[in-house]
Amino acid sequence: MDGVQAFKERVTEIAKEFKKIPKSETIRLVSHLDCDGICACSIIINALNKDNRSYSILILPQLKDETVAKLAEEDYQTFVFTDLGSGNLPSLNRYLSNKKVFVLDHHRVQGLEADFIQHLNPRVFNLKENEISGSGVAYFFSKHLTSDYKSMSHIALIGAIGDIQENNGFSGLNCEILDDAISEKKIVVRTGLRLFGVNSRPIHKLLEYGSDLEIPGVTGSESGTIQFLHSIGINPKKGYAWKKLTDLSDSELQKLVAGIIMRRSDLNNSEDIFSNIYYLPDESLSVLKNAKEFSTLLNSCGRLDKASLGIGVCLGNPELKRRAVKSQSNYKREIVTAMHWFSKNKDSSDVIRGDGFIIMNAKYNVLPTIIGTTASILVKSGDFPDGFLILSLARNSDMTTKISLRIAGRTSNVDLKKILSDIVAISGGEAGGHQYAAGAVIDTAVEEDFILAAQNILKNLIRKK
Ligand SMILES: [Mn+2]
């Protein structure tokens, strides 16, 4: 039997177990804070609503042992974990063995499955990592609870997009969901420039913050963007207002495409500037008409600790949609604040400049949830040579400090996760991430030790090159 078939049979089995739960029971629904987790949770909520069940929701940035221990003390008999849980099988085994536990996840499986855990994870069936996300897993499960599951098909794909599973199209089980979304007219697929914020933002902002489409000298630089537009004969303004992509004439659009390709000519895949656009015809707010922007909005809801707003958006509540869009502008403002902090403090003692690297300690001046995004925008600004490293720190409110490490360009073969692991091995703390983007959390008390260790390790690293 192939993996897809085996996965689907497992879904049927688990749903059958779920249906045994009396409808009088309140279900504890625990999900992940990111876009995919918010979408997964919303899909289950829709299914539980239609199935006349009551539930109580908990959204978490990550599932820790202590949290599982606390959950065990709650009165709930049934727990449904979405987009998390597979990495916590040992603690689920330890604390929840007298409860009914459903895990609908796609993350790496750690520990052994146990009989009392209804575990659904595509990795168990050797499906590929980008074939289905947490919300896709929830979607397949929801099919068994309600006949109205297809009304959430676009949400399952927005979750997958949030987890970067869309790359010039979907694959595997995500394609099945896309077929549902297209036949339900929830999604229309078009082709367009690989830029995000296509519908809602002025062109110059689109290009400046277009982390999806790197344009040397333009990405991350407002003046660079305006100069670029003038140099290719496009006036970024229409009267007093800034032009949006939809304001451009066909010939201007051609100029823009040509100009972007020229600027990108030194990059690998320089002509890879088009991508699929997943258009959501039912949405009335422009930000929500594009699935990619929708997913960005959900991510920023999570990062601003407003996951419930995101859930409201997925479930189609017009008032919550309006509020979520407003809170996203707060998120953008936070990023702008962070960039301003950096340019104002470039020469202060909070920004240490080394040969080939910068260490910036924003302390409480930048939100810890956006310090990584800030570093990413900086390394893409074109102000730093390939291989340049930016290590950024910002404080959480619980006496810990969030750290992220980013690199300019992708030509160098350094492993950022390894570097951060080496540093926290000296200072204390925990590191994670991957080769090109890594993060860590340390106690704020050891910030100085961390920065000292980082300086030594980064210096040696640059010297070795
Ligand atoms: Mn996920």
Return the CATH number at 449: 3.10.310.40
In a domain, 339, yes or no: no
What confidence tier does 196 reach under pLDDT thresholds 50, 70, 90?
Answer: low
Q: Are residues 13 and 119 in the same domain?
A: yes
Q: Above 90 in pLDDT, residue 239?
A: no
Q: Are residues 175 and 231 in the same domain?
A: no
pLDDT (average), residues 352-368: 94
N- to C-terminal Cα separation, the chain: 50
Q: Are residues 173 and 34 in the same domain?
A: yes
Residue where a domain terminates, one of 151, 183, 215: 183
Q: Above 90 in pLDDT, residue 365?
A: yes
Q: Which domain holds residue 200?
A: 192-334
Mean pLDDT check: name the lowest of 69-78, 290-299, 361-370, 431-440: 431-440
pLDDT given at position 67: 93
pLDDT given at position 237: 92
In a domain, 341, yes or no: no
Cα(161) to centroid(ligand 1), Å: 10
pLDDT (average), residues 419-443: 91
372 vs 192, more confident = 372
Q: Are residues 179 and 211 in the same domain?
A: no
pLDDT given at position 334: 85
Q: Are residues 325 and 356 in the same domain?
A: no
In a domain, 151, yes or no: yes
Q: Are residues 358 and 250 in the same domain?
A: no
List b or e across 237-264, with b for residues whose CB sees 16 or more CB atoms inside 10 angstroms. eeeeeebbbeebeeebeebbeebbeebb
Return the CATH number at 163: 3.90.1640.30
Q: Are residues 167 and 32 in the same domain?
A: yes
Strand ranges (E), 51-171: 54-60, 78-82, 100-104, 117-120
In a domain, 343, yes or no: no
In angstroms, the Cα distances linking 210 to 184, 194, 196, 205, 258 are: 31, 9, 6, 8, 17
Q: Are residues 179 and 204 in the same domain?
A: no
Q: Are residues 174 and 250 in the same domain?
A: no
Length of the chain: 465
The single-letter DSSP state of residue 185 is T
Q: Above 70 in pLDDT, residue 108?
A: yes
Cα(325) to centroid(ligand 1), Å: 22
pLDDT given at position 411: 67
Most confident among 239-253, 257-271, 395-409 (mean pLDDT): 395-409
Cα(227) to centroid(ligand 1), Å: 39
In a domain, 377, yes or no: yes
Q: Are residues 442 and 396 in the same domain?
A: yes
String of DSSP letters for 338-395: HHHHHHHHTTSTTEEEETTEEEEE-TTSS-GGGHHHHHHHHHTSSSS-TT-EEEEEEE
Total structural domains within the chain = 3
Residue where a domain terminates, one of 284, 304, 334: 334
Distance CA(407)–CA(386), nearest Å, equals: 8
In a domain, 342, yes or no: no
**Percent of the chain residues topping a pLDDT of 70:** 97
Distance CA(106)–CA(325), nearest Å, equals: 29
- Residues 130-181: tens digit of each pLDDT: 999 999 999 999 999 999 999 999 999 999 999 989 988 999 999 999 999 9
Cα(128) to centroid(ligand 1), Å: 14
- Residues 298-351: tens digit of each pLDDT: 998 988 888 999 999 999 999 999 999 988 888 878 888 899 999 899 899 999
Token look-up 């249906």 returns 19
In a domain, 222, yes or no: yes
Q: Are residues 225 and 324 in the same domain?
A: yes
pLDDT given at position 194: 77
- The residue type found at 279 is Y
Cα(204) to centroid(ligand 1), Å: 31
Cα(447) to centroid(ligand 1), Å: 31
pLDDT (average), residues 188-204: 78
In a domain, 340, yes or no: no
pLDDT (average), residues 205-212: 78
Cα(358) to centroid(ligand 1), Å: 31
Cα(330) to centroid(ligand 1), Å: 24
Indicate whether this model's pTM tops 0.85: no
Closest CA to 363 of 347, 342, 333: 342
Cα(202) to centroid(ligand 1), Å: 30
Residue where a domain terminates, one of 130, 155, 183: 183
What mean pLDDT value characterizes the chain? 91
Q: Are residues 300 and 322 in the same domain?
A: yes
